[in-house]
A and B are shown apart, each in its own frame.
Chain A
């Protein structure tokens, strides 16, 4: 085999010719999450066509999103952008009366340099509805990063946290954080906090999760007597959490690096860098990291994790020793790979659109320790992968499972390679102890299905040559 698997984590970067969803797809889950919002995607027919096809039946349920479809007159600046947007936003206000309108900038608005950020504040005062601008375009971002741009924009709209004790502010001045280098990664900083009451240290979690999953995670923290003071985003725009100096923030998803940066640099929050709560191991590590920052000894966390592993036994028997290949398209890949390695799988390659080594630092370290613990060779991490090359590699490696986008799933299945659509991981509930089962349910589905069909003798369904 010409592809060697190395002993340390290797990072590579390919051509970026890979398939992924356009980041505007984030409106699909964000409009459902933020109940009083309206998403207006300012773009062309291409964007609209993608949304209507990608979101399938959701379009028929009178969604709270729409296209502001640019026409020839808009492109050639014969029409006035401001007047046009005002007309549409007034109509939206009349029909839906949302608490916030979120403009999603697209590739086209970038290229024609439409000044959405400049127009929004003016129009906002004129129509009396907040307008948040997020540039979720395919020139700069991939798939889930769309959510990142929206949340980063929304972080600016969170109310200021005032009720902190002033003297504490002074004490901590020297630590004021505006650099990544000061991410809290361990116990060393906890000393300064232990004196003050834990209740008075607000913790805001960021990342859009279904409300049940959000409350599950809040509850897990509550068991360790940590109160979550708010979520970004909240169920309603009007309930955005207060941010400010002294507020601790922690991400729940690996693709939120811009949001993290904004929270630290612009809102002066303190970021807790932790692995992400995906899989029981990840959830354990995530809670433990938060607790250590707050100077709390965790209670019964070890047992809780063991219990979950115990309940997964049937699934683990199915996946143990099987190999996985992540083609990469949604940035959840590192965390998922780490969990699957802990489950006993072998990961050949982790394709990923974009790798923020600082924001994902704790997760990467965790991946490494997991590999050592399981005595499994380190996978190669391929940033901006090239799908064509990946398919050649897969042909050689013949993995037991490829986690891939829908463009490649059927052709790979026809060639006898089991696949799982990566998009499902974005929409399924995969966070926390409770949902670890769901991840394995997804991963094992093709394996279980094919166990049933194994003896029929038609795994390869293409003509050779």
Chain B
């Protein structure tokens, strides 16, 4: 068992690294986010393989989303998603009221503009996980009040 602090520090370093290399290479913010997301994607793919070893076959898309909200989230972030909403047309909103990777930042407005950096990797995690379950998606995240955040999953048909 690894310790959580280690992952959080590593995650910070990854963000630092991606943004620093961007300074030299004139990469804009969007590209950095994409890079972080891609790294998360690969990790998500690996994780879901490990987590679903012993689970029963999923019935449908909603079943998969429930798995992500409960088991996947618990394994990765040590809590469940607080709220899952869907329009039943392929859009799911996962709300986490106390997101692990934002928890260490000030709850005020001071660092709100930096929040997206800390979410990109996790968006990738979810997308990667879903992709290995055969669900193509676009995952975005938004924060209005720290440390709560909403992940929006748009399923691609």
Partners in one complex: no
Which B residues are within 8 Å of any A CB, using their own CB?
Answer: none
